Amino acid sequence: MAGSSGLLIPLVAGIIGLGVLAQVLAARLRVPSIIFYLLVGVIIGQPGLNIIGDGTFGGALSAIVGLAVAIIVFEGAYHLRFDRLREAPAATFRLVTVGAAIALVGTAIAVKFAFSSAAVSWNLAFLIGALLVATGPTVITPILNVVPVRDRVAAALETEGIVNDVTAAIIAVVIFETVNPVASSEGLLRAFALRLGTGLLVGLIVAGVLYYLLQYVDLSPGDAPRNSRLLVLAGALIAYAGANTIATEAGVAAAATAGMALGNVDHPYEEDIEEFKGDITLLVLSFVFIALAAQLEPASLIDVGLAGIIVVLAVALFIRPLLVFVSTVGDRFTTNEKLFVSFVGPRGIIPASVATLFAVELNAAAEEVTGAQAELLGTQADILLGTVFLVIFATALFEGGLARYIAEKLDVIPMRVIIVGGGQVGRALAARLEDRGENVVIIEHEEEIVERARNDGYAVEIGDGTDTDTLRSAGAENAKTVVAATGDDDANLLVSQLASSKFGVERVIARANNPDNVEAFEDLGVRTISSAMATAWAIDNQIERPAIAHWMTDVGRSGDVQEVEVKNQELIGKPIRDVGPMLPDACLVALVSGELHENAEVPTADYILEEGDMVTLLGRRESVRDGMKMVSGD
């Protein structure tokens, strides 16, 4: 085991290097990176090669983990926008209240009755239950990066992870004081309120100071982007350290509060900060997970034995589905989405780091007492650490590793729009489609264009769009639309034919750069847009219909026109005169097309909507989006 200071620097560098390699491999295999972090930690730690052990980092590991948690929690909360919470407000609120309570009590009961040992008191059972409430952004975000579920599902999972990280850490610290005989005793509610209140207050103060400083930094050109990134990083650390100094574990609440408050106000250099924080988070996340997994002694997992496995099964197969279905009752979640959320509940860095800290403190307390009490504390430390890490390993490996497979089987990944060609046309189209919530993937093979598209925030599949394997990797089997938008007509034609014949894509559209090729494309059944004709139509609209042309195409436009299939049973069989008042204000039915008419037509007031009709909605942007959800029954 390497414990000397001379080897510490190469060890840290090696861990970070292995963490980056694990991230690259996870991205390549499209699985959550936490799986590889844990495996690397096990291999190089005490369970494996024993390169890293208890004394490798001395007493500094808890401080390192704490600062890393501050960065991770701040970054996750910074991305949690209030407008996203509106996607599933009731379900999200219940997940972090009723759901968290079910997880706490249910896990405590499972622990108490799984372990027949007298060492497992109700206090220890509730301590383990409190720790295992937390899912957290460290495990949820990597899963959502490779499983692009609907916004309402992602918002619920992300919010649950952020909020439960905070509450779980605080509740666990409060309960721990009833387990540790040398800890100070204070009322549970008072201790919880003190830590949460301290975290909220410190977090809001730090967010306010950061907001003011970012306005000031914006006045100084040149180094402003770099300074803004460093300010926010320092703010996350200061919020955590400041609150922790006042009350133990209040720092998690402070970091989350500061991140959420700052992320939901307009301030300069938001994109620079998001990109920088994301990179830093990946580094510290990989280091902390690998380092903590390496600390785990095999005996801790072996000691919990069958009882630990029973707790894992209870948490994953009974408690998690129960709390999800209770929390989402009467909401817009489909049954398959509820099943997916039930499956995705891996535990992350908060239970790992706090459980490690508690085990150390219990072992230290055992040295201050003698006899049976010392033995009891040592046993409790082993059960605590072994149970928590067993649940983390099992849920991270199985739920994280199988998340995409389960999502595909449950059909909870919204159908994709694949754009072959990441040039100006492809990126402009992607921007418009993503603006209205489509799940867009760009296929591009040129490195410079790939980098530009990714910097703009698009999902990019590197490869040749005329290759079947590339199309399959991009999700063509689950695509509703494929757009061939390259500058090469031959490539566009081949892409269109592959998408239609090999993958049965419902809608295939090709760009014809040469107008002479339009007829040849259409003879082969490919819906074709001529670049020349598209430009001519745009100019004609500016000449003959300038008001509506500006209304629909200007950046930040207030209007929108969308086509949607009628699926809402409340609208089927009703005439347009009755449907109109049911739609949101400033949203009109402009056109209807269906089986009874080949072409779209402006409906009369007596037109009866039928299931499968396609209606074109026109109106204000947000009204049209709300109208689409209503008409589709979503």
Identify whether 608 is part of a domain.
yes
Whether residue 555 is predicted with pLDDT greater than 80 in this model: the reply is: no
Identify whether 62 is part of a domain.
yes
CA 75 to chain centre: 12
Identify whether 551 is part of a domain.
no
Distance CA 167, CA 49 (A): 36
Distance CA 355, CA 343 (A): 23
Long-range own/partner contacts, residues 124-127 (CB < 8 A, 24 or more apart):
124/179, 124/380, 124/383, 124/384, 126/175, 127/172, 127/175, 127/176, 127/179, 127/358, 127/384
Model pTM above 0.85 = no
How many helices (H) and strands (E) would you count in the chain?
A: 28, 10
Identify whether 548 is part of a domain.
no
Q: Are residues 142 and 172 in the same domain?
A: yes
Distance CA 132, CA 381 (A): 16
Last residue of a domain, one of 392, 410, 428: 410
Number of domains in the chain: 3
Identify whether 512 is part of a domain.
yes
Q: Are residues 592 and 606 in the same domain?
A: yes
For residue 487, what is the domain's CATH number? Answer: 3.40.50.720
Residue 320: which pLDDT band, with cuts at 50, 70 and 90? very high
Identify whether 609 is part of a domain.
yes
Whether residue 574 is predicted with pLDDT greater than 70 in this model: the reply is: yes
Identify whether 549 is part of a domain.
no
Top mean-pLDDT range of 2-11, 318-327, 561-570, 579-588: 318-327
The secondary structure of 266-292, three-state, reads CCCCHHHHHHHHHHHHHHHHHHHHHHH
* In the block, residue with structure tokens 């004081």: 177
Q: Are residues 101 and 238 in the same domain?
A: yes
Last residue of a domain, one of 394, 410, 426: 410
Q: Are residues 149 and 256 in the same domain?
A: yes
Distance CA 442, CA 420 (A): 6
Whether residue 545 is predicted with pLDDT greater than 60 in this model: the reply is: yes
Q: Are residues 210 and 251 in the same domain?
A: yes
For residue 310, what is the domain's CATH number? Answer: 1.20.1530.20
pLDDT, tens only, 92-125? 888 888 999 999 999 999 999 998 776 788 888 9
CA dist 8 → 14, 69, 285, 330 (Å): 10, 21, 19, 54
Q: Are residues 399 and 430 in the same domain?
A: no
pLDDT computed for residue 218 by the predictor: 60
Q: Are residues 325 and 251 in the same domain?
A: yes
Q: How many residues does the chain have?
A: 634
Q: Are residues 213 and 129 in the same domain?
A: yes
Of 3-12, 39-48, 212-221, the least confident: 3-12
Contact 560, 619 (CB under 8 A): yes
> Using alpha carbons only, what angle is made at residue 149 by residues 438 and 271, rounded to the nearest 5 degrees?
65
Q: Are residues 68 and 154 in the same domain?
A: yes
Last residue of a domain, one of 410, 439, 466: 410
Q: Which domain holds residue 288?
A: 4-410
Top mean-pLDDT range of 15-19, 140-144, 272-276, 486-490: 486-490
pLDDT computed for residue 419 by the predictor: 93
Taking alpha carbons only, the member of 238, 278, 227, 233 closest to residue 76 is 278
Taking alpha carbons only, the member of 251, 235, 252 closest to residue 161 is 252
Q: What is the DSSP string of 551-599?
A: HHHSTT-SEEEEEEE---TTTTT-BHHHHHHHSPTTEEEEEEEETTEEE
In a 10 Å sphere around its CB, with 0-12 CB exposed, 13-18 middle and 19+ buried, how is residue 389 labelled?
Answer: buried
Q: Are residues 500 and 614 in the same domain?
A: no
Residue 428: which pLDDT band, with cuts at 50, 70 and 90? confident
Identify whether 550 is part of a domain.
no
Q: Are residues 502 and 569 in the same domain?
A: no
Phi, psi angles (nearest 5°) of residue 604: -85, 170
For residue 582, what is the domain's CATH number? Answer: 3.30.70.1450
Q: Are residues 396 and 434 in the same domain?
A: no
pLDDT computed for residue 228 by the predictor: 82
* In the block, residue with structure tokens 């963490």: 19
